[in-house]
Amino acid sequence: MVDIKRLRDAYQRGENITQKFKESGLNTLQGIEVAYDLQSGGYVQGVYKDLKGFKAYTSEMGEILKDHVCSLDSVLDCGTGELTTLSGISHYLPNDIELLAFDLSLSRINVGRRFAARAMRGDLAVKLRTFVAAIDRIPLPDKSVNVVMTSHSLEPNFGREQQLLQELLRVSCRKVILFEPSWENNTDDGRSRMERLGYIRDLPKHIEAAGGYLKNVFPLQNISNPLNPTNCYIIEVSQGDINQSKIDIPFVCPISGEHLNHFGNYLWSESGGYAYPIIEGIPILRDKYAILMTLK
Ligand SMILES: C[S@@+](CC[C@H](N)C(=O)[O-])C[C@H]1O[C@@H](n2cnc3c(N)ncnc32)[C@H](O)[C@@H]1O
């Protein structure tokens, strides 16, 4: 268990938390989780400080996405953070879609839901399904979502690009659309920064290795940091896999893949043998929080 009080003090002194995890040899995913959880609230504050920049970034993304999302589709935002970007782009999406979003950090989703209640398009905010999960093991069935997207959430996962892309492709039945930093088009200074921060590299190569077809890639115009330029990567899932998406996509156990059933304040699969808690209405669907329960 990590000492959160010590890390929060370090964060408030301006130290780099992910770096501290790297130095102590701890699992990088845990480093990402703690570093982002400690920042909770920062992105919402950022939106209020620069409303114009937020609108420019999310309108550009929204205009791109609206050409790929159809009425009655399901859309999954992976690593949604504080739901800021998703709230901004919601205004460009068609009616009658099912919107799902998850993040490693429960605190960020909590903050984000309050933000979304004000900033997301009303019909989508009401139906939005949020949950805690890792991109490494998305608790949804194979090919269950029409459009899977990310916005700078693959970013801190250097070294695991192919594994995460395989998982995004597994749950998608049509498209995966990434808004992620571009190593390929970055300057030397930008690349040094990406290296220092442990950011992803060479997405086109990893997309191909993961079995995706990169249909198009282009830079976004509205970026907040020129050292971290955003590219949009439009990936198609192979033709044979197309459209098996479902209405009311069920959660599955991230360990066994078995369907989970809802019981009051937890989700459980009898055949999988694990239960998962629900906190503040948010299912916590990570393997590390699974509770052994073979009989109810
Ligand atoms: C730079 S923020 C971007 C948040 C949001 N997508 C946005 O556009 O504002 C990165 C987010 O990705 C999440 N994240 C990073 N790696 C992840 C992983 N492997 N699984 C789930 N979430 C992850 C972090 O917790 C963090 O909230």
Q: Describe the crossing of helices 28-38 and 4-12 by its angle, rounded to 10 degrees.
A: 60
pLDDT for the residue 219: 96
| 94-148 residue pLDDT tens | 989 999 999 999 999 999 999 999 999 999 999 999 999 999 999 999 999 999 9
Distance from Cα 232 to the centre of ligand 1, integer Å: 16
Give the residue whose CA is nearest to atom 9 of ligand 1.
85
Phi-psi category of residue 255: left, alpha or beta, with phi > 0 → left and psi -120 to 50 → alpha: alpha
Distance from Cα 270 to the centre of ligand 1, integer Å: 31
Give the residue whose CA is nearest to atom 27 of ligand 1.
81
The DSSP secondary-structure symbol of 278 reads E
pLDDT for the residue 239: 60
Residue 230: CB within 6 Å of ligand 1?
no
Name the class of domain 250-296. Answer: mainly beta
What is the pLDDT tens value at each position of the chain, 296 positions in all?
778 888 888 888 888 887 777 777 667 888 899 999 999 999 999 999 999 999 999 999 999 999 999 999 999 999 999 999 999 999 999 989 999 999 999 999 999 999 999 999 999 999 999 999 999 999 999 999 999 999 999 999 999 999 999 999 999 999 999 999 999 989 999 999 999 888 999 999 999 999 999 999 999 999 889 999 999 999 999 765 555 555 789 999 999 999 999 999 999 999 999 999 999 999 999 999 999 999 99
Considering the segment(s) 45-241 as one domain, its CATH architecture is 3-Layer(aba) Sandwich (3.40)
The residue ranges of every structural domain in the chain are 4-38, 45-241, 250-296
| 238-269 residue pLDDT tens | 765 555 555 789 999 999 999 999 999 999 99
Name 168's Cβ contacts closer than 8 Å, sequence gap at least 6: 78, 135, 138, 148, 150, 176
The backbone torsions φ and ψ at residue 242, rounded to the nearest 5 degrees and listed phi first, read: -65, 145
Name 124's Cβ contacts closer than 8 Å, sequence gap at least 6: 90, 93, 97, 99
Q: How far is Cα 204 from Cα 220, in angstroms, rounded to an integer?
A: 16
